[in-house]
Amino acid sequence: MAQKPLSQRSGENVDLILSLLVGHPELSRINVEPRLGTITLTFIVRGSVGAKFRTRLREHLSAYYALENVSAAAPEIKTSTMRGLTFLSIGRDTRTISGAEISLIVALVRQELERALVVNPPAEEPGEDEPLARKEFVGSAIDAWRRGSQKKSLVGFRDERRVLIYFGS
């Protein structure tokens, strides 16, 4: 099987990050580290994030893994605080994460942290069938990402209505 050009493989990874950030305005940043096989989803929260939230998130994800029959390591949950804002980072391996799990994580964070969660304005108003199309795209992009040989890390983040993506080393 012929290998895709580097620019096309890189484009799949960029498309995945772009789709996730546009589809989930609650996400402020996504880091992808292909060499480590990790993806980190970062949210911004006004105030602090307590141990109770972390426990509940782990419990919900454990139940999800059991229902989906996924053998996954527990997510790595980290926080850092600066000037009254908490940066909540949830890390997972890229081998077993799915678009459905990412959507679940975003929904749980939104539900549990409610008004404290900093949500970016949507880039544009979605059409009627856009969320379904985006969900299908994310699934196929994750599959392409697993098959790819992308070696550079990627960081995508939201800045108001814009999405910016940077390639690392």
Tell me the HSE value of 136 on the side-chain side, using a 13 A CA sphere: 4
More confident position, 149 or 169: 169
Is residue 47 included in any domain, yes or no?
Answer: yes
Is residue 169 included in any domain, yes or no?
Answer: no
pLDDT at 29: 94
Is residue 1 included in any domain, yes or no?
Answer: no
The model scores a pTM over 0.85:
no
Residue pLDDT, tens place only, 78-135:
999 999 999 999 999 988 888 889 999 999 999 999 899 999 877 665 555 455 555 5
Q: Which domain holds residue 56?
A: 6-164
The count of structural domains within the chain is 1
Residue pLDDT, tens place only, 39-68:
999 999 999 999 999 999 999 999 999 999
Sign (positive or negative) of CA dihedral 66, 110, 137, 13? negative
Sequence-ordered list of residues with C-beta below 8 angstroms from that of 85, at least 6 positions apart, any chain: 44, 45, 46, 118
pLDDT at 83: 93
